[in-house]
Chains A and B, each alone.
Chain A
Amino acid sequence: MSLTEAQRPNAVRPPREVELGLYRRMRLIRHCEEQLARAHQLGLVHGACHTYVGQEAIAVGVCDHLRPDDVVFSTHRGHGHALAKGMPPVELIAELLGRAAGCSRGRGGSMHLFAPEVGLLGTSGIVGPCILQAAGAGYSFRLLKNDRVAVAFFGDGAVNNGAFHEGLNLAAIWKLPVLFVCENNQFATEVPFAYSAGNPDVAARGAVYGMPGVAVDGNDVLAVRTAAGEAVRRARAGEGPTLLECRTYRTRPHAEGMGDFGYRTREEVEAWKERCPLRQLRDRLIATGVASDRELSAIDAEIEREIDEAYRRAESSPWPDPADAATHVYAEPRTPPAAPGPDTSRSVTWMQATLEALSAEMEANHRIFVLGEGIGKRGGNFRTTAGLYDRFGPERLRDAPISERGFTGLAGGAAMTGTRPVVDFMFADFLLDAVGEVINQIAKMQYMSSGRLKMPVLLRGCIGIGHSAATHHSGSYFPMYAHFPGLRVVVPSNPFDAKGLLHHALRCDDPVFFLEHRELLSLKGPVPEAAYELPFGQAAVVRNGRDVTVVAIALMVQRALQVCDRLAADGISVELIDPRTVAPLDSETILESVARTGRLLIVDETFGPFGLGAEVAARIADEGFDDLDAPIRRLNGVHTPTPYSPPLEAAVVPSVEMIERAIRDLVAE
C-alpha cells in the first residue's frame, strides 16, 4: 500500500512542544528500559524482563492522541505502552522489583502491568487477548454513548492468532472505536514473521475485515503519530476501527538474558540500531532547528535524574505483605436481603423464571447487554432472551458470529470498562473454544489489577446430558471452572433457585458461570413474580433426613428427590443437600448434616475424577473425619465422551435406580 500524504516524513510538522514532548517520552522509555535491563543483570528483576528498546516511537506516537479516559491494552512487551499512557516510572520499576508500590502491587511483574487510573487496562503474558479486550472496551464506549477509544498494541506474532481474526472482525461488523496497532518487529519471540505468514503484509489484512489497514515506519515517531491521529479521529467519530502496522525492530533480545544471535545476525541488529527511533528524532530536531543539541542533552540529563530517582525510590520501597498474597481474587461480596419462600400460588418453568430475572435486571441496569448466537431477534436457542430484543434493541441484545473466543474475550474487555456483559454461549461445549479468555483473562483480571478492575461477566449456557445431543452438546465441565480462583460457578436445580441466583449473578461484580441443565429447562416450580436474590455459597437442604446425607447437583437433585420417597417407605431416611453453587461451595451445611448421619454420597452426572464429589469428599474427610460411620461414596456419570444412541446415553448418566442402589449400599456399609 502506498504512503498517504500524512505518512510522509515531511508532512505538516506538529508544534515544537509536541515534538519535544515526543522526544522526552521516548527518552524516558529508553532510559527506564536500560535501567531495568541493568537491574535484571544484577538479579534484582525476579522474573522475565521484556524491554521495548527500539520500538519507543510507536507507543509514544499513538498515545500522543489519547486522553486519560481512553484505554490501552498491551502485550508482554508493555513497559513502553505503560509509560507512554502515563504510568509513573516508579510504579513500573517497583513492579519489576516486586515491591508493594508496583503498578500491580507485586502481583504482575514485567508482563502484567495495570494502571486503570491512567487508562492502562493491562499488559498480558498471553498473545492475542488484548485485541479482544480492546474490542470489548470499544463496545462499552458504544453502549455508553461516549467518544472514548480503545487501543490494542500487539506484535506480529499475534496476527496469526485466532484472537486477531475474531477481534478484528467483531470490531469491524459493530464499527467499534478501536485502534489495532501491530508492532511488527519481525520476530514472534525468535520465529521470523517472514516464515510464519503466508502474506507478510499485515496492513493488507485490514481490507479482509473491511477496515482501513495502514502501514507506517514504526521507527519514525512523526509518521506513527500522523497515522494514529487519523485512526483515532475515525474511531471517535464513530467511523469504526483501523489496523495500523508499524514496522520496527527490537534491538535487545526477546527477554533479558536470552541469546540473541541464534536466529538473527549481529549485523542485522547493528543495522537496525543505526535506525534507532530516538536518534532519528533527535537528529531531525537538531537539523530542523527545533532544538539544539545542548537543549536535548539537558532533557536527557533531566530524564536520567528522574528515572534514577524513581529507581532509588522503587528499590527502597517495602515488599508486599505475604498475608495479602490472595486478596483481590474476588470482589467484596454483597449480602442480599433475605429471599421470600417459593410462591406456591404461582408455578412457572425454569425458562420463564430466568427470563423474568434477566428482563428485570436489564430494565434496571442499562449497562447490561447480552452477547451470543441467535439471542437477538430469534430470542435464544433456549428462549433465554425471548422478547428482549424488541424491548432493548440490537446493541443490548447483540447477535454474535460463531466466534466464541472472540466475543468471550470481548466481554472481558467490556466488563473492564464499565459494562456488564452476559455471554449466552448456548452449550457448555461451545465455550471450550474460549476457555483461555475465561481463565487466563476474565478470572485473573481482578487479582492482577489488585482489585482496581471489576469483572462482572455473566457466562451463561446449557449443560447436561439428554435427548441424544451427543458429545458436542452434552458437556457440563463445571468442576473445571470451580478449580480456578476468580470464578463463581452457579448450577441450580429448580426454577425458584435459578431465578434468585440469576438476579444475584447480575448484581455480582465477579465473573459468574450460570449453568442450566437442559433437562430442567421446562421443569415447573413455585416462583414469586417479584425480584429476589439468593446468595452464592449457601446450600439448600432439600429434604431433612437421619440416616444418610446425599449431596446432589443440577438434574441429580431432582432424581435423588424421587429416591428419597422410595427409601422412606423402607425406613431409610435421606437428607438431600443441593449446594446450588459449586464455587463458592458450602461445605459447612454438608458437614453439619454428616455430623448427624455419619454417611455421605455425592451424586453428580459430570466426570468423577477431580470433580465435585472428590472435592466434597476431601473436605468432609478432613473436617468431619470423626463423624464418618462409613466410607464416603461418589456416584458420577461414566468417564467417557457422551454417546448418541439412547441406550448408550442412558448408560452414562446416574439414573434413579442407580442412585437408589448407591444409597442402599452405603447404608449397608
Chain B
Amino acid sequence: MAMPITIPRLGWNMEEGTFGGWLRRDGDPVRPGDPLFTLESEKATEEVEGLDAGFLRIPADGPGPGDRLAVGTVIGFVVSTPAESLPSRTGGPAPTATPPADPVASPSVRRLARQHGIDLRKVRGTGPGGRISADDLSPQPASRERERPEQPRSSPRARRVARELGIDWTTIAGSGRNGRVRERDVRTAGGSQPGIGVVPLSPIRRTIATRMLESLRTTAPVTLTTTADATNLVNLREQFRAAADGPAAPSFTDFVVKLAAVALAKHPHLGGQWTDQGIRLLSGIHIGIAVDTEAGLLVPVVRDVPSLGLRQLAARTRELIGRARTGRVAAADMQGSCFTVSNLGAYGIDAFTPIINPPECAVLGVGRIAKRPAVVGDGVVPRDQVTLSLTFDHRIVDGGPAARFLQTLAQAVENPAPWVIS
C-alpha cells in the first residue's frame, strides 16, 4: 500500500512552502522519523520527517527544488515493497486562484475615491510600490471638502418629527446649540407643541378637512379684492333698525347676500358649476352663509334669495344661523347653494382669501365696515368702507368676468337702496 508524502504545515499560518529537495533517493528504504526532504516556510527551512516505514518512491513528475507547493500537496510515496506501482498522479489541493490584484491605496484614499466615483484601477499611483495617494486622484477632492457650504443642522429626532408633520425643517430656525433644529422647533413651526395632547377629530372636522382639501385640489382659485364705500349701506341699515318693531333689523350679511344675488343675476357664470361636460348654470339663486359654530364651520343655504324681501331674508338667515349654532340644522339645509358669503368683519378682519365651497364657482369674503379717510372732491372725509374679497374658480370664469361681477357688487354696496327695496 502506498502512503502519500505530503507538504506539511509548518506552524499555524503556513498555506504553502518552497520545496528544497529530497534527502533520500527514489527507492531508498526509509523508517518513521527519517528526514525525507527539506521545505522552506516563511520562518525557516525544515527537514521533514516521514511517518512510515517502507521504500521511498519519487514520481518523475514530482516537484523540483524551488517549487512553491500548497500544504497537503502529495509529492511522493512510501511503499511497502520496492516493486509496488504508484498511484497515477501526484499533486494535491488545486492551487487557489489569485484574485486580480487590487491597486494599493490607503483606506482614506479608497473612501475619497468612492465619494467621488473614481475607479482606483484607472489611477496611476505615484507612491512607493505604485501606492495611490490622495494627490494621485486629482487635486480637487481634498479642497472640495473644505469648500462645502455650511449645512443647516438638526437632531435626528427633529428630522423624524418634521417628516411626520410634513414640514421642511431646513426652513426652520433652530434654537439648539449652534443653531441646531430641535424637536421643539419643528413642533412650534408645525403649530403643535409636544405633550399638550391630541384632540380627537369630530365628524364635522373631518368633513371640513376633506372638503377644504378637495377644494384646493380640484379648483383653480384666484382671489380679487376691492374696497367699496359703505356709507349708504350703513345709513340704510340704520333706517331699518330705527323702523324695526319686532324682529331685529337685517344684518350687514343679509344686505350683502341680497346684493350678491343681484350681481349673480347679472353674471350667472359666477353661480355656475364645473362639470366635465361643461359649465352648468343653475335656475335658482341659492346662497350659502358661512357660520362659525363651536363644532366648526357650517354653511346653511338661503333659497331663492331674489324672491325674498329683505325682512323675510333677515328672518330666514336668523333662523338658519340659530339652528346651525345649536346643532339642529338639517343636511338638506346645507345643500344646493350656487355661491357662499363669509363675513369675518365682526372679528376685525379686513380682507382674506376664502376657500371656494365646492362645487360652487366663487365665494365672497366680507371684511369689517369701518370709517376710513376717503378723498371726496378735494377733501379728505371719513367714510364707512368695506373690503370685499372674491375667490373664484379660474376654470369656470376668467379674471375679467369675475372682476366685473365684483365691480357690480361693489356698486350695489355703495348704492344699495334700489336693490333692496323692491
Tell me whether A626 and B8 are in contact in the complex, defined as CB-CB below 8 angstroms, given that A37-B51, A546-B195 are known contacts: no
Task: Pick 27 A–B contacts, CB within 8 A, sort by A.
Answer: A40-B9, A41-B6, A41-B51, A43-B9, A43-B71, A43-B93, A47-B12, A251-B33, A256-B8, A257-B12, A257-B14, A259-B10, A259-B43, A262-B44, A598-B157, A598-B183, A626-B156, A626-B160, A627-B156, A627-B160, A629-B155, A629-B156, A630-B155, A630-B182, A668-B177, A669-B176, A669-B182
Name 9 extra pairs, CB < 8 A, besides A40-B9, A259-B10, A626-B157.
A40-B8, A41-B9, A43-B6, A257-B11, A258-B10, A273-B33, A598-B183, A625-B156, A628-B156
A599 → B minimal CB distance (Å)? 9
A38 → B minimal CB distance (Å)? 6
A42 at interface, CB cutoff 8 A: yes
Contact: B11 with A42, CB < 8 Å?
no
Contact: A629 with B12, CB < 8 Å?
no
Q: How far is the CA of A384 from the CA of B367 in the complex (A)?
A: 84
Q: How large is the interface on B (under 10, 10 to 19, 20 to 34, 35 or more residues)?
A: 20 to 34
Q: Please, what's the 1-or-0 string for A618-661, where 1 marks a CB less than 8 Å from any CB in chain B?
A: 00000001111110000000000000000000000000000000
Q: How far is the CA of A258 from the CA of B14 in the complex (A)?
A: 11
Which 4 residue pairs of A and B lie closest in terms of their CB atoms, listed nearest first? Answer: A43-B72, A41-B8, A629-B157, A626-B160
A34 at interface, CB cutoff 8 A: yes
Report the nearest B residue to A43, measured CB to CB. B72
B320 at interface, CB cutoff 8 A: no
Tell me whether A38 and B10 are in contact in the complex, defined as CB-CB below 8 angstroms, given that A259-B44, A598-B183, A626-B157 are known contacts: no
Among B44, B47, B156, B195, residue most surrounded by chain A Cβ atoms (within 10 Å): B156
A561 at interface, CB cutoff 8 A: no
Report the nearest B residue to A251, measured CB to CB. B33
A126 at interface, CB cutoff 8 A: no
Q: Please, what's the 1-or-0 string for B150-190, where 1 marks a CB less than 8 Å from any CB in chain A?
A: 00000111111000000000000000110010110000000
Q: How far is the CA of A669 from the CA of B156 in the complex (A)?
A: 13
Q: How far is the CA of A309 from the CA of B174 in the complex (A)?
A: 76
B181 → A minimal CB distance (Å)? 10
Among A257, A258, A261, residue most surrounded by chain B Cβ atoms (within 10 Å): A257
A348 at interface, CB cutoff 8 A: no
Q: How far is the CA of A47 from the CA of B14 in the complex (A)?
A: 11
Q: How far is the CA of A38 from the CA of B72 in the complex (A)?
A: 10
Q: How far is the CA of A626 from the CA of B183 in the complex (A)?
A: 11
A299 at interface, CB cutoff 8 A: no
Residues on A with C-beta less than 8 A from B157 are 598, 626-629
In chain B between 116 and 163, which residues have their CB closer than 8 angstroms to a CB of chain A?
Answer: 155-160
Contact: A42 with B182, CB < 8 Å?
no
B77 → A minimal CB distance (Å)? 13
Q: How many positions in chain A have a CB within 8 Å of any CB in the partner chain?
A: 29
A143 at interface, CB cutoff 8 A: no
Residues on A with C-beta less than 8 A from B304 are none
Query: Which of B11, B51, B159, B176 lies in contact with A258, CB distance below 8 A?
Result: B11
Residues on A with C-beta less than 8 A from B182 are 629-630, 669
B46 at interface, CB cutoff 8 A: yes
Q: How far is the CA of A38 from the CA of B32 in the complex (A)?
A: 12
Q: Please, what's the 1-or-0 string for B102-122, where 1 marks a CB less than 8 Å from any CB in chain A?
A: 000000000000000000000
Query: Which of B9, B93, B155, B183 lies in contact with A257, CB distance below 8 A?
Result: B9
In chain B between 331 and 384, which residues have their CB closer than 8 angstroms to a CB of chain A?
Answer: none
B100 → A minimal CB distance (Å)? 26
Q: Please, what's the 1-or-0 string for A251-265, where 1 marks a CB less than 8 Å from any CB in chain B?
A: 100011111011000
A435 at interface, CB cutoff 8 A: no
B293 → A minimal CB distance (Å)? 36
Q: How far is the CA of A351 from the CA of B33 in the complex (A)?
A: 66
Contact: B8 with A257, CB < 8 Å?
yes
Report the nearest B residue to A630, measured CB to CB. B155
Contact: A42 with B155, CB < 8 Å?
no
B2 → A minimal CB distance (Å)? 14
A542 at interface, CB cutoff 8 A: no
Contact: A38 with B51, CB < 8 Å?
yes
Looking at chain A's contact residues, the main secondary structure is loop
Contact: A629 with B71, CB < 8 Å?
no
A100 at interface, CB cutoff 8 A: no
A48 at interface, CB cutoff 8 A: yes
A187 → B minimal CB distance (Å)? 17
Residues of B within 8 A of A (CB): 6-12, 14, 33, 43-44, 46-47, 51, 71-72, 93, 155-160, 176-177, 180, 182-183, 195
Query: Which of B8, B43, B158 lies in contact with A629, CB distance below 8 A?
Result: B158
Residues on B with C-beta less than 8 A from A261 are 47
B80 → A minimal CB distance (Å)? 14
Contact: B6 with A42, CB < 8 Å?
yes
Residues on A with C-beta less than 8 A from B9 are 40-41, 43, 256-257
B209 → A minimal CB distance (Å)? 28
Report the nearest B residue to A45, measured CB to CB. B9
Report the nearest A residue to B184, measured CB to CB. A629
Query: Which of A40, A625, A629 lies in contact with B183, CB distance below 8 A?
Result: A629
Q: How far is the CA of A48 from the CA of B155 in the complex (A)?
A: 52
Report the nearest A residue to B160, measured CB to CB. A626
Report the nearest A residue to B155, measured CB to CB. A629
In chain A between 529 and 558, which residues have their CB closer than 8 angstroms to a CB of chain B?
Answer: 546
Q: How far is the CA of A668 from the CA of B155 in the complex (A)?
A: 13
Q: How far is the CA of A117 from the CA of B93 in the complex (A)?
A: 38
Report the nearest B residue to A665, measured CB to CB. B177
Residues on B with C-beta less than 8 A from A44 are 72
B19 → A minimal CB distance (Å)? 14
Residues on A with C-beta less than 8 A from B46 are 259
B313 → A minimal CB distance (Å)? 56
Q: How far is the CA of A251 from the CA of B71 in the complex (A)?
A: 23
A605 → B minimal CB distance (Å)? 26
Residues on A with C-beta less than 8 A from B71 are 43
Q: How far is the CA of A598 from the CA of B159 in the complex (A)?
A: 12
Q: Please, what's the 1-or-0 string for A463-483, where 1 marks a CB less than 8 Å from any CB in chain B?
A: 000000000000000000000
Residues on A with C-beta less than 8 A from B51 are 34, 37-38, 41
Contact: A42 with B72, CB < 8 Å?
yes
Q: How far is the CA of A251 from the CA of B49 in the complex (A)?
A: 12
Q: How far is the CA of A43 from the CA of B7 in the complex (A)?
A: 9
Contact: B180 with A669, CB < 8 Å?
yes
Report the nearest A residue to B175, measured CB to CB. A668
Residues on A with C-beta less than 8 A from B11 are 255, 257-258
Q: How far is the CA of A44 from the CA of B8 in the complex (A)?
A: 10
A598 → B minimal CB distance (Å)? 5
Contact: A598 with B155, CB < 8 Å?
yes
Residues on B with C-beta less than 8 A from A48 are 12
Q: How far is the CA of A431 from the CA of B322 in the complex (A)?
A: 85
A424 → B minimal CB distance (Å)? 40
Q: How far is the CA of A626 from the CA of B154 in the complex (A)?
A: 11
Residues on A with C-beta less than 8 A from B93 are 43
Report the nearest B residue to A48, measured CB to CB. B12
Q: Please, what's the 1-or-0 string for A98-133, where 1 marks a CB less than 8 Å from any CB in chain B?
A: 000000000000000000000000000000000000
Among B43, B157, B159, residue most surrounded by chain A Cβ atoms (within 10 Å): B157
Contact: A669 with B8, CB < 8 Å?
no
Q: How far is the CA of A259 from the CA of B155 in the complex (A)?
A: 61
Report the nearest B residue to A49, measured CB to CB. B9
Residues on A with C-beta less than 8 A from B177 are 668-669
Contact: A630 with B176, CB < 8 Å?
yes
Residues on B with C-beta less than 8 A from A41 are 6-9, 51, 72
Q: How far is the CA of A259 from the CA of B9 in the complex (A)?
A: 11
Q: How far is the CA of A261 from the CA of B195 in the complex (A)?
A: 79
Q: How far is the CA of A327 from the CA of B33 in the complex (A)?
A: 42
Report the nearest A residue to B70, measured CB to CB. A43
Residues on A with C-beta less than 8 A from B156 are 625-629
Q: How far is the CA of A629 from the CA of B156 in the complex (A)?
A: 6
Q: How far is the CA of A42 from the CA of B7 in the complex (A)?
A: 7
Residues on B with C-beta less than 8 A from A37 are 51
Residues on B with C-beta less than 8 A from A47 are 12
Report the nearest A residue to B158, measured CB to CB. A629
In chain A between 446 and 489, which residues have their CB closer than 8 angstroms to a CB of chain B?
Answer: none
Q: How far is the CA of A255 from the CA of B8 in the complex (A)?
A: 12
A426 → B minimal CB distance (Å)? 41
